[in-house]
Structures are given as structure tokens and as C-alpha cells.
Structure 1
């Protein structure tokens, strides 16, 4: 290792003497203790991609130099069999320590070095749904949607990024370019999300119009305009507050009907605890919302009306191995008298990885989604006000091209009439 250090130092001096400018960052200076690279390297170490630097003494409990960090990154770059998540971490580390890697003889192109400043991800996706609801006026509804999505992320400094989401969609069956021509479809590009994201060690802060941070599957598949704070490592505490548009892109008929009568935007405050380590994940949360919409929701209360929702939830998941996992969640609205409970149990086997052609997964789930608590569930099969079984599969056809099929068969909670839905999607990710 001493010979390697001497060789690298000599190379750095020669390069510095031959250049008109000398790199401002000393390769032998310590990487600050709160730098994001420590978490990234720890994750790679946990996944078995790297074992440390030099004599393999890295344990994540002491500061190391930029040169030592670059050694670990170089080893990670030499690995060929890594998953897409680890590959993204390696690319980000390579961009950060590109000067040190160049001194080690590991080539990093200018494009790679600058890639982390502004990243553009996105997808083009086609979605087909066929919904059968025996209790609805129109018992059969089909939908063909083509959506284009961009998700830029811009680096502000070592701690802060700005993220956004822009969506536009069109109805293929009608060949329409008019706004709101289908189920929440919009041909014009809309800014759906924009938030500043700050990371300080194990503490994360989000400010703006951001993704829902708690119960985003069972209860709230939407954004909130406000702020969130999450802190902790294995046990995480999340605080969230802001304004939540109940009638945003919801599939809840009860909310949609009430929102047409009264302002549907709710004040929302949430707190949650989530524990995750190795194979086990457990969590609990509480949400308080107030909006006049609740006064007009059908069968929300039997007696006097209320403009509040007080929702508590629990969740858990256990991975038996790298392929099989069982998870579930339950929630209840203490302010509602009817349809106030929601829950799901899901068994997952594997899962499609967009970066790896041929990977696939299947799942089966039972869902019960009371419409007065599951205000905007995210499931592509079951919807608010139904209960029943849902099955699905996904498959990576080509690299970054994933096809999904889901089927729900159940009944409406209010009258027991049949409810079913077929869902298909092809995603082209970039």
C-alpha cells in the first residue's frame, strides 16, 4: 500500500507541474464525516460490492482521505455483476472522486464527471385499463393512456439537490390533445412535483411540493405541498406537514363527489416511525387532516358532520430470502363511522429490474380499501371502496423496458356488487 501511495503522489505532482492549474482538492485531505459518500460506500459494502481500501480495514467509523475513497470506488468500478441501484451509486461516486481516480489511472470521462450536476431521468409509458363496476351507471370503462414523464435532479451543493417531475399524457383511443379528456389525463406538460432535498448525515429535509412520505401506498398516492423531516438510521422518525389536494388524481368516488361541492384541499400533519434492518421492516404512523370535503362525503358519519380525519396506521414486511417477501398494512380513521378501515396483505416473489433484461416477478394480494380512510390508494388493481384479490406480474423485456399485468377481482363494500379491473402497462425508462 505504501508503494501505491508513493506512486499516486508522484503522479499527482507530475500532473500538477505540467498543468496551468492545480486541482483545488487535496487528494490526501479527509472526506468530511457528513459527506454523502460514506453512506454510499457503506451501502456498497453491505451489498458485497466492496470490502474496503488497501488492507480492507474500512468499517465506516472513521474519516478517510479522498485518495482512500477513490481506491474503494475503483474496486467497485471493476465489478461487472452489480445491480442497477449499486451501479447508480458507483457512477455517482466516480463523478465525485474523478480527479483521484484519474491519478490512479482509472479513466473517468468529462461526461461522467459532470453527470451528477444535473440528471434527467424519465419514462414514456403506455397504460391500458378495463374496469367493471356493477354498481356504477357506466358499468364498463376502458382507458388507453400514453404518458411522458421527465424527472430532473440538480445538485446545489454537497447537501442539497432540487428535484422535479413533469408529466403530459394523451388518450390514444380518442387521439385527443385536449386537456382533461380522460381519467386525470392532461396533454399539456404540467409541473407535478418540485422540491428541495437536503441531506445531513442521517437527517433528510424536503421542502416544496414533494412525494408523500408516509403511507403512500395504502392511503395517499399523491403529493403534498409543505415540508418533511426524516431522521435516524435503522429507526427513522418522519414529520410531515402541508396542504393535500384530496381530489388530485384520486380513484375515490366518494372524495370526488364531495370535492365537487366544497373546497377539497386539506391541511395535513403526519408523524411516523419506521424500523428496518436486515429482513424485517415495521412501522406506525398518525395523520390528521381537516377539510370541509369530509362534511360532504357520503356515509362518512352517521350523526353530526365532521371536517376532520384522524388516521392511524401500522405496517410490516419480512423478506424470507432475496426472492420471497410477505408484507401488510392496516389503517383506521377514528373520525369516520363507516368504511373507516383499510388493509392489505401481499406476497411477493422476485421483481423485474429495469436494468437487467429477463428479470421478472409475481405477487398476490388481498386488499380491503374503505373509502373513508384509503383516500387515494396507489394500487393499480383494487380501488377505494372495494375489497378482493389482486394478482400481478412484471417482466423486463429489454434493458429499461418493463411490462406489467395486474388483475383485481372483488366487490364493492357498500352493496357487495361485483368489481374487477384488468391493468396493463409497458414502460420505457431513460
Structure 2
């Protein structure tokens, strides 16, 4: 386009132009500018160059009188195109001088808007939320059995439920972030929440031990599920320490796992953990942790004694606290080659005292520590094989078989990517878990909680896929599991469970 044509385009724009909010791709975007109008060609050129805009409703409204600020905005955009390369420089210089006051005012407004946008972005970056909402259903005959070796409470937290996991982060500075999680289970099948020990009086006033139903009125109360009650369940601070800020440290209460399959630990803990890449370690990392699992529990046993008439009367309820030990862990992981990764660690129990009320402290009263080891191999592009092992230094295996060890094997084919619709994965996992090689779990497969079993053995099979962006569907089937619901009473269990996760 020749110079005089550009000058004509600018003058035409200044003569009939009006300002709006949305850039027009061309004059065709203006419903009120016919193609046979004398200004169509000039407006088309200016619209494509981004010099003029419409009114935001697909109109140009060329008959409306422009303000001086609208005129100045057109001049400013023309000048940004580069003086002599767009229009006649002399014309632009004259227009610039004419509207210098308005241009200065517009510049101040733009600078102020840029500052506001930057401040808003910084504030938005300081606080962020993300998480998932889950819809889950299934069948699990293990929930029909007595769920604890030391009581009669039954649970169904991980079977039929609506669940939400909300995580928030609050940026403190470039090397510190505070985080929290809120988790909520909303259960929808009453029959999975059947009994709790209770004491009631009959018509004569005598007290008796009874089994009371846990109704829908109570099942979602905070005291029925303290970790998934809709209250803040975890809160911790993430720090980047050291001169290079490469000691990644967590302090507080959070979910934590040890090992590739979280075989030793996979649950909520209190304490401090630091992770650091080993210098010249060829991709290896180390972790040092001082922590205690929050999976303490307690038993409530009503005591009945015979009276003078030979009848049993309620006397008291014995409370026994089962405490998790305090631990120190040193863990290492990294590659052994292009297709092999390994993990090895040792956990020492440093605090393992009985409760002052006479209760026990879980399974670990004579346990000294644990070793854990994992190895992961990729024999084929889409296949990953992982083996994990845990050994507890305890004498309890003498009375309960191989209760001093856990091991698991998992085979995976492909995997899901929430940003890639249609991606999918298959897996098969075999577990053989002892009673005393586990420091705390809340895994949703129910291999430990909520059934509180003393040993699990069997296969799990699963399929997962991404049917829509940020949506994952997974189905799990465990046809033949062997579990010890009491110390010497193994039962057969099967699980069929499916769920949809909506990530946000």
C-alpha cells in the first residue's frame, strides 16, 4: 500500500472512527459498515492493523461523535506501529502535538492499570486452591465382618461416598509457602455403618451392653471421621533452605509416604522432613525425617460384674490408647541406569512408651526399627514393574508367622495424563502384608484401614482412563483377598469399586 493511501486511511479513521472494547479482525466485523461504503477499505485496513476497534456489539457506529480521548487513542496506536512505516510521519507528528495532553493522560492511565494488574496478579499468586471431588461406589464384603480385632466398630469410609480433597497454598516469600488441606467424606449407604459398643438401661434401670446403630444422622458427624470431616485436616510449611535453596523441607502435619509404593508408611504424620539432591550423586536424593504417624487409636471396653443376685451389672468402661511410635528415617533414592530406579531406607524407633493411663502403644512395643527397599524397572516403553519390601526388627513374628515383613509387586501398563483425553492405564498388584511392618496407612484400597486388619494377602487389578479434560475414572477389583480380622481368624474378602475424580 502506498504512502498516500495510508494517510487517507488514518484520516478516514479519524473522521468516522469510534472507540469500543474488542479488537475487530476486519471491517466485516462491523455489522453497520456495508462493503460498498466509501470508507470500507480504509476501515478494513485500520481494523486489521489494530488501530481502530468496534463498540463491543459488532457495530462501528461511525455517525457517533468521538471524544478527544478516543481520537488520541487512535493516534497513539498509529504511532505504536512505527512512525514512517505506518502513515505519514508529518501527519502523525501534527496529530501527536494536537492531542499531547490527552496522550499523556492516557499513558498515565495505562501505567496505573498496569500497576494494578501486577498487584492483583501478585495477590492471586499468593493464595491458590486446587484439589478434586470424587464420586465413588462399590461392594466390599470385608466391611460386613467385625472390623477390629479389639472392638466391634464397623466402617465404610472408602466404599460408597462422595469425597472432596481441597488443598490451599499461601505464598510467604520466594522460599516459603504455607499449605493446608480440607477433606470431607459424605457417605450414602447406612448399612455400612452398623454397630458401635454402647451401654443402655432396661425398663428396670439396669445397664446392659448393646449394639447401637450408627444412623445417617450420625455417620457424617466430625467425631465419626476426624480426618475427613470437612475441617482443616493438615497444615504445614514448605521451606527451601540452604545457600542454594535446595533443602526442600516440610514442617507440620501432612500426608507422607515412604518408598515407591508407600509400603512402610502412607498416611498422615506430624513432624519434619527434608529432601536434598546429592551433589555429584548422578540423580540420587536423600531424605531425613523425624516424625510420628497420627494414626493413634483407642479401645473402649465395657466391664460387667456379677452382683449379689448373680446378675451382671455395668461397672465401668476400660479405655486403652494404642500409640504410634516416634521415628527417625533416613532414605535414599535415584537411578541405577536408564531404565532402573531404586529406593532404600532405615527407620529407627526413638520414642515408644506406654500410655500413662495403662494403654499400649500399638504393635511396636518391642520393635527397634525397619528397613525398606524398592526397585522399579521399565523393560518396555509402556511397562513398569515395581517391587517393594519392608522388614521390621521385632520378635512378634515368632507368635504371628511372618508379621515382621511386608512385600508388594506391581505391574503397570501405560498411565493417565489429565491433559490428554483418552489416555489410560492398567495395573495389577500383589501384596503380602504382615501385622507389624506397617507404621501407618490410610490407603483407599482398604488394605489396612478402615478394616484395621492384621495381615492382607492377594491380588488387586485396576483400570483407569481420562474421559474428559481433568477427569479420571478408575475401577478396582480384588477377587480373592485373605485377611486376618482377628489374630488367628483369616477371612476371605473381595472388593469391586469404581470412582470418578474431577480435578480442579
Q: Is 1:156 the equivalent of 2:200? A: no
Q: Report the Cα distance in structure 2 between the residues aligned to 1:135 and 1:334, rounded to whole angstroms.
A: 33
> CA offset at residue 210 of structure 1?
3.0
| Structure 1: unaligned runs, 5 residues or longer | 1-108, 249-254
Any idea what SS the aligned residue of 1:224 has? strand
Any idea what SS the aligned residue of 1:371 has? coil
Alignment of 1:12-411 (within 5 A): 116-133=125-142, 136-137=145-146, 143-174=159-190, 176=217, 178-180=220-222, 186-198=228-240, 200-215=244-259, 217-233=262-278, 234-247=283-296, 261-276=320-335, 278-289=338-349, 290-292=351-353, 296=360, 306=365, 308-338=367-397, 339-377=403-441, 379-381=443-445, 383-384=447-448, 385-408=455-478, 409-411=480-482
Q: Residue 157 and residue 347 in structure 1: after superposition, are their counterparts in 2 closer, same or farther (change >3 A)?
A: same
Q: Report the Cα distance in structure 1 between the residues aligned to 2:300 and 2:328, rounded to whole angstroms.
A: 24
| Per-residue Cα deviation, 1:175-206 (whole angstroms, up to 9, x for no partner) | 55742576667444233232233264542111
Q: Report the Cα distance in structure 1 between the residues aligned to 2:342 and 2:330, rounded to whole angstroms.
A: 15
| Aligned partners of 1:262 and 1:292 also within 8 Å | no
| Per-residue Cα deviation, 1:291-331 (whole angstroms, up to 9, x for no partner) | 34798489x5xxxx835451111001112344210001000
Q: Report the Cα distance in structure 2 between the residues aligned to 1:423 and 1:315, rounded to whole angstroms.
A: 27
| Per-residue Cα deviation, 1:133-174 (whole angstroms, up to 9, x for no partner) | 499337997642212221112222222222221112211234
Q: Residue 187 and residue 134 in structure 1: after superposition, are their counterparts in 2 closer, same or farther (change >3 A)?
A: closer
> CA offset at residue 372 of structure 1?
1.1
> CA offset at residue 218 of structure 1?
1.0
| Aligned partners of 1:170 and 1:176 also within 8 Å | no
Q: Report the Cα distance in structure 1 between the residues aligned to 2:227 and 2:217, rounded to whole angstroms.
A: 10
| Aligned partners of 1:381 and 1:407 also within 8 Å | no
Q: Report the Cα distance in structure 2 between the residues aligned to 1:256 and 1:326, rounded to whole angstroms.
A: 40
Any idea what SS the aligned residue of 1:167 has? strand
Q: Report the Cα distance in structure 2 between the residues aligned to 1:260 and 1:212, rounded to whole angstroms.
A: 29
Q: Report the Cα distance in structure 2 between the residues aligned to 1:378 and 1:278, rounded to whole angstroms.
A: 33
Q: Report the Cα distance in structure 1 between the residues aligned to 2:472 and 2:417, rounded to whole angstroms.
A: 8
The alignment yields a C-alpha RMSD, in angstroms, of 3.4
| Per-residue Cα deviation, 1:115-141 (whole angstroms, up to 9, x for no partner) | 543221111112334322499337997
Tell me the equivalent position of 1:55. Answer: none
Q: Residue 126 and residue 193 in structure 1: after superposition, are their counterparts in 2 closer, same or farther (change >3 A)?
A: farther
Q: Report the Cα distance in structure 2 between the residues aligned to 1:428 and 1:256, rounded to whole angstroms.
A: 37
TM-score normalized by structure 2? 0.55
How many correspondences in the alignment? Answer: 311
Any idea what SS the aligned residue of 2:435 has? coil
Rg larger in 1 or in 2?
Answer: 2
Q: Report the Cα distance in structure 1 between the residues aligned to 2:127 and 2:155, rounded to whole angstroms.
A: 41
- The 10-residue stretch of structure 1 (333-342 or 206-215) with the greater mean CA deviation from structure 2: 206-215
Q: Residue 121 and residue 272 in structure 1: after superposition, are their counterparts in 2 closer, same or farther (change >3 A)?
A: same
